[in-house]
Chains A and B, each alone.
Chain A
Amino acid sequence: MRTKILAILVATMLAAGCGKATDQGSADKAGPTKISGTVTVLAAASLTESFTAIGKSFEAAHPGTKVTFSFAGSPQLAQQITSGAPADVFASASPATMKTVTDAGDVTGTPVTFVKNQLVIAVPKGNPQGLTSLAAIAKPGVKVALCATQVPCGAAAQKALTAAGVRLTPVTEEQDVKSALAKVKLGEVDAALVYRTDARAAASDVDGVEFPESAKAINEYPIAALKGAPNPAGAAAFLAYVQSPPAQQVLADAGFQKP
């Protein structure tokens, strides 16, 4: 008897683990063009502020919808998607990360590049140490936080450093760009290589110093609807909205560049 109960319990657990959740945010099937329900968007950490604003205006444009976000490092989100996380849209900070998701067959249609982003050197407000170039922050004694090379901003940072011919040893390699920025805000490091948009979003705490080599390491951001999306109509609508003029204006104001 006890073995039977155990077997049933184990089988239930396995079954629960194998199936994808389908009860999250069902689209309203009342009419072909009515968008409603929850749209789940997984987006790179650097899109936090702009996508949150875009989500609100999307909800205003489509009453009855609710956009929920999960912001994290792009590789972490890609890993969640390929492991079966239920989501409608994925916006990545690099084509390479998006490729891991398309290669796994989890994307509907073709990914579209919707913005570009460039790196700056984030320093504490007022730039107390007067750091103005990659060579300056690579000097011994300067504590720098970089993103880990697996993360898009880390890969871009390495590209920029190589282009500048500068060898930089960071004190920490963070798993997403917001963590690197947080270290600057806390005053734990003297500088970090983050996106222009992140420095702007934290303008009250940090200054973003431009440097020429960032032009050699521009990140393209692709966005795509996901296969197995709980709300395919909502996904398509959000995709279209992100490329429309109002959303593009929000992104441009945040510091992103046109695709």
Chain B
Amino acid sequence: MAGLAFLVLPLAGLLIRAPWSALPQRMTEPAVLTALRLSLVTATLATVVSLLLGVPLAWILARTDVPARRLVRALVTVPLVLPPVVGGVALLLVFGRNGLLGAALDDAFRITLPFTTTGVVVAEAFVAMPFLVISVEGALRAADARYEEAAATLGASRWTAFRRVTLPMVAPGVAAGAVLCWARALGEFGATITFAGNFPGRTQTMPLAVYLALEQDLDAAIVLSLVLLAVSVAVLVALREKWIGGVL
């Protein structure tokens, strides 16, 4: 109960302090809507990227006997413990204009990632993907591998077995991982502001908008925070029963 109070009290403080009378008009200010739209779009894209890259990675960790597996798993968890700003600096050093890969990308394909919306997606995916990988790996380990073996004896290729046997079995785990990943990406601040910078409409996500508003206009910051809180809670509640079952 004390744990619940600890987690709920700050949220209660936010609700109590909110400027309720001015809320409808402040919530529809263009700056708020722009930041919200950007946040939702980038978090969703980051989750898609994480699914495409993370599910195969989780499968390798759970189902194969690659010798470097332990090292790979340790590397996957690094973004989890790395301070997000450090992650942002690291991304700059690799993908920045003078970065290890960024310089080549710029010269060959004229692609620059810093200060772009794509950069925001990259930063968010970097910090959020480990959540997905660990969640899916756990679900795969819990799922019985014998079903896939049975499918193989019945003539299914590896890809068919994965698509029609494994994925449906671990779907709740994947969905739970995706929700965690989305929520983490939505709240990402340090890596985003360091790697993608801050520009309204292009890279200023909700957390960045809240941070800057805090210095000048506390009410604006609270409104932005409430909007973000409401959206996050709505998504979590909506997904909870339908697809995740009892996992989240």
Residue numbers of A with Cβ under 8 A of B are: 2, 5-6, 9-10, 13, 73, 75-76, 78-79, 143, 145, 148, 150-151, 170-175, 183, 186-189
**Contact call A171/B199, Cβ cutoff below 8 A:** yes
Query: Given A186-B92, A189-B115, 19 more contacts at CB 8 Å?
Result: A5-B2, A6-B2, A9-B5, A75-B216, A76-B214, A76-B215, A79-B214, A79-B215, A79-B218, A143-B115, A171-B115, A171-B197, A172-B203, A173-B198, A173-B200, A175-B212, A186-B96, A187-B96, A188-B114
**Which chain B positions have C-beta within 8 A of A188?**
92, 96-98, 114-115
**Which chain B positions have C-beta within 8 A of A143?**
115
**Alpha-carbon distance A171/B116, docked complex (angstroms):** 9
**Which chain B positions have C-beta within 8 A of A13?**
6, 9
- Minimal Cβ-Cβ distance residue in A for B216: A150
Kindly supply a per-residue 1/0 record for chain B positions 194-216, scoring 1 wherever the CB is within 8 Å of any chain A CB and 0 otherwise.
00011110010000000110111
Interface of A is mostly: mixed
Q: Does B1 contact A (CB under 8 A)?
A: yes
Can you name 16 A-B residue pairings with CB atoms under 8 Å? A2-B1, A6-B1, A6-B5, A75-B215, A150-B215, A172-B197, A172-B199, A172-B203, A173-B197, A173-B198, A173-B200, A186-B92, A187-B98, A188-B114, A188-B115, A189-B115
Residue numbers of B with Cβ under 8 A of A are: 1-2, 5-6, 9, 92, 96-98, 114-115, 193, 197-200, 203, 211-212, 214-216, 218
**Alpha-carbon distance A138/B2, docked complex (angstroms):** 55
**Which chain B positions have C-beta within 8 A of A172?**
115, 197-199, 203
**Contact call A170/B199, Cβ cutoff below 8 A:** yes
User: Tally of A-B residue pairs with Cβ under 8 A?
Assistant: 63
Q: A73 contacts which of B199, B203, B215, B218 (Cβ < 8 Å)? A: B215
**Which chain B positions have C-beta within 8 A of A174?**
197-198
**Alpha-carbon distance A189/B198, docked complex (angstroms):** 13
How many whole Å from A47's CB to the nearest CB in chain B?
18
- Minimal Cβ-Cβ distance residue in A for B98: A187
How many whole Å from A250's CB to the nearest CB in chain B?
28
Closest A-B pairs by Cβ, 5 of them: A172-B197, A75-B215, A171-B115, A187-B98, A150-B216
**Alpha-carbon distance A113/B65, docked complex (angstroms):** 68
How many whole Å from B53's CB to the nearest CB in chain A?
25
- Minimal Cβ-Cβ distance residue in A for B200: A173
**Alpha-carbon distance A228/B173, docked complex (angstroms):** 53
**Contact call A148/B97, Cβ cutoff below 8 A:** no
How many whole Å from A137's CB to the nearest CB in chain B?
15
How many whole Å from B197's CB to the nearest CB in chain A?
3
**Contact call B212/A10, Cβ cutoff below 8 A:** no
**Which chain B positions have C-beta within 8 A of A75?**
215-216
**Contact call B199/A9, Cβ cutoff below 8 A:** no
**Alpha-carbon distance A189/B96, docked complex (angstroms):** 10
- Minimal Cβ-Cβ distance residue in B for A9: B2
- Minimal Cβ-Cβ distance residue in B for A169: B199
**Which chain B positions have C-beta within 8 A of A171?**
115, 197, 199
**Contact call B5/A10, Cβ cutoff below 8 A:** yes
**Alpha-carbon distance A9/B4, docked complex (angstroms):** 12
**Alpha-carbon distance A175/B194, docked complex (angstroms):** 11
**Which chain B positions have C-beta within 8 A of A78?**
215
**Alpha-carbon distance A143/B96, docked complex (angstroms):** 13
**Contact call A150/B212, Cβ cutoff below 8 A:** yes
- Minimal Cβ-Cβ distance residue in A for B208: A175
**Alpha-carbon distance A188/B9, docked complex (angstroms):** 41
- Minimal Cβ-Cβ distance residue in A for B116: A171
**Alpha-carbon distance A78/B218, docked complex (angstroms):** 12
